[in-house]
């Protein structure tokens, strides 16, 4: 590796760090009902910690997608592109998370749940939501193709994620909103795994160079349909194979919810999304 390459790498890192700070400012500006330092240091609020950690991880995933995009013939052009698409990624991340919250968790105030009620299950779901939309945004902004295809695939991915969240609520034997509002951490962790796993599948669908609308939309539709079909099948697999003789759903909603069961279900969705990427 030459000295020029090393210096260029540090320059890109510096730009990304500045974008991370901007992303923090945007998050703080949109969430004025709490101060992160107070919630973490003075109140030990784990729910807020999980939600904010998910946001930062989602933001890093978005910026990673921007950095890994196609290079130009000039370092200056690369930096300008990184700044423009990085700022756009921050906007899309916050917009998509807000839209997903408003449609999937429409029955209660998410911020009240994590700040005032310290609902760890809601914090886990909120953090998973940020990671999921970060994956979708990174996939949409990767590769060559221009701004319009990226925005189309971002919006399509967001719609698919919302459908997946609503479908998951329908195929479970319990009411997702009711359980999370009861501070059920196991259910919140499991749902976070669903969102991240499906977000990873949508990332695969939107990643790569834009060739043509017909080819790219066909590939996107293929991955989306596969993900939606596998969603209920993964639940059956987790129940019958990973935990034979017991029910993950029942374990998660009993009088003392089994957090381990929620973790197992979450990991099963994450693992399935990785296998889909490797095999399909």
pLDDT tens digits for range 64-99: 877 766 555 577 777 887 888 888 888 888 887 788
Q: Where in the chain does DSSP place strands (E)?
A: none
Categorize the per-residue pLDDT at 249 as very low, low, confident or very high, splitting at 50, 70 and 90.
confident
Categorize the per-residue pLDDT at 56 as very low, low, confident or very high, splitting at 50, 70 and 90.
very high
- Cα–Cα distance, 264 to 175 (Å, whole number): 19
Closest CA to 130 of 179, 93, 158: 93
- Sole residue written with tokens 């004025």: 32
pTM, entire model: 0.89
Closest CA to 193 of 117, 143, 257, 259: 259
Range of weakest confidence among 93-102, 131-140, 181-190 = 93-102
- Cα–Cα distance, 132 to 218 (Å, whole number): 22
- Cα–Cα distance, 233 to 275 (Å, whole number): 14
pLDDT per residue over 121-138, tens digit each?
A: 999 999 999 999 899 888
- Cα–Cα distance, 114 to 91 (Å, whole number): 22
Q: Which two tokens stand for residue 72?
A: 């130009």
Mean pLDDT of the chain: 84
- Cα–Cα distance, 25 to 250 (Å, whole number): 41
């Amino acid at each position: 590796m030459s000295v020029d390459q090393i210096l260029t790498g540090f320059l890109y890192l510096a730009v990304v760090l500045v974008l991370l700070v901007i992303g923090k400012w945007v998050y703080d500006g949109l969430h004025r009902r709490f101060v992160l330092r107070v919630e973490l240091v003075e109140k030990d609020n784990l729910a807020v910690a999980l939600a904010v950690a998910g946001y930062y991880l989602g933001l890093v995933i978005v910026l990673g997608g921007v950095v890994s995009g196609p290079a130009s013939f000039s370092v200056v052009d690369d930096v300008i592109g990184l700044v423009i698409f990085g700022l756009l990624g921050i906007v899309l991340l916050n917009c998509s998370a807000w839209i997903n919250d408003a449609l999937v968790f429409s029955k209660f105030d998410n911020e009240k749940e994590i700040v005032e009620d310290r609902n760890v299950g809601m914090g886990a779901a909120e953090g998973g939501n940020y990671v999921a939309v970060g994956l979708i945004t990174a996939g949409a902004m990767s590769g060559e193709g221009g701004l319009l295809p990226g925005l189309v695939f971002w919006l399509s991915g967001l719609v698919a994620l919302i459908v997946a969240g609503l479908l998951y609520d329908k195929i479970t034997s319990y009411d997702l909103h009711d359980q999370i509002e009861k501070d059920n951490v196991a259910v919140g962790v499991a749902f976070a795994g669903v969102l991240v796993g499906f977000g990873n599948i949508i990332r695969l669908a939107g990643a790569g160079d834009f060739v043509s609308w017909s080819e790219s939309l066909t590939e996107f539709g293929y991955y989306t349909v596969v993900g939606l079909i596998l969603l209920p099948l993964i639940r059956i697999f987790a129940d019958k194979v990973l935990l034979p003789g017991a029910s993950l759903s029942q374990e998660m909603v009993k009088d003392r919810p089994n957090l381990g069961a929620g973790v197992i279900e979450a990991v099963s969705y994450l693992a399935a999304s990785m296998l889909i990427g490797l095999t399909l």
